[in-house]
Structure 1
Amino acid sequence: MTDCDVRLDLMESIWDEFVRVAAPIQSGRCTAVEALTRFGAAARGQSVYDGGVHIGRLFRTVFLIDYFTNPVFRSELQHVLNRGEAVHTVQRAIHIGKIPSELTKHHESLAAVSSSLALLTNAVMAWNTMHMQRAVGQIEAMSGDVLRAVDLRRIAPTYLEGINLRGTFDFPIARYADRVLPSLVDGLSVKMSFALRDAGRSPNCNCHRCRKKPSIRWAVVHL
């Protein structure tokens, strides 16, 4: 269903004033946030606000026509949206859980959290990009073919499989071995042997009956 609710006469009447609002934003003398604060919902009822609403409806109509009638445009838009969602997935993997309430009470602390998360996300994507470029160079050197840009643009540097996001846990058992296992301390070396044995299984037997049973596992830790 369509509704012809775009008023061209109202857009024409406020066009000069609307240009004066948009020009400082274009030149950088005024931010879009400041302009929206001044001419946002609080300015409802003013002529420039009402005319801006109809201009927005006109641009949205053009966008929807392109989206539904142009498959290439629709595909590119979906590609951009998927890329943005992939970045959000990286951010959710880096920061698990909710932001502490004491950090959400002030704009400065919330901006610091957002900036820190953006910095770590960019570091992850930069690391992935470096290794992706190295892999592309190796593939081209081995095959002699140049990878097409149309294929490379479909690969996003947002993979997390090769990144340890939680650090490495180190348990210095040797430092506290005399306290934890005083009866097994022998000089500078402690050997702990653990075995999970299934009754009737021979460690050197490879017959059909023994292969069905769980294998014997020996773990020796040298400290």
Structure 2
Amino acid sequence: MADFVLVAGARLGAWAWDEVVPYLRAAGHRAHPLTLSGLADKRDVPAGQQTHVQDIVAEVEGRDLRDVVLVGHSYAGIPAGQAAQRIGDRLTHVVFVDSSVPADGAAFTADWPDGGASLKASLAENGGFWPVAPASHYAGHGLTEAQIARIVAGSTPHPGATLTEPAVLAGPLDELPATYIQCRPAGGEEREDVTDWLPGEHWGLVEMDTGHWPMFSQPRELAQILLESADQ
């Protein structure tokens, strides 16, 4: 029996996993969707990037979880990758769901074409928060209008410090047992940044024929990949 710790990306909370969790539990596993500080029902809690790392570590250690499959989606791959190194032999596998992956000393915006200048400008204009994205942001990702409306309604502004502070790694990530899920609708462009750096023997690559939010667009298919990762 695995303990799945599920962390959604920017602006989202534990609620984003509502349609994935039943599949994991039906297969006999435990699922722990996690809201990071500063978001959703924790939106009033001040947060930097290391706060989010500690949120994940505290969830694992505070619940005394074992055989942990740690899942980080989008932005959450940054704190999840760091937390995976800190929970030691509690970790069974880490899954990056179409996510950013931390690099020591680098911020979430490190690979942005403008070096993160546009994001920093947005944070300055919005009191230090990354504002909720409009419905148009989710077009072309295999989502229904109802799903998009749900995402927009449930989203909260994202604390900016978590996006601009550098990651702190204890060692190479390629030592982690990991799966990277690349979400790419049929005909979409391949993400060269994934295929270029994907580590070797301890990492696997899985592709999903859907957009960036598979927990909404393909929850059953995503759950199946997560279940398979628990057996690796």
TM-score by length of 2: 0.19
Higher-Rg structure is 1
TM-score by length of 1: 0.19
Question: Which of the pair has the greater relative contact order for Cα pairs under 8 Å at 6+ separation?
Answer: 2
Return the structure number with greater helix share.
Answer: 1
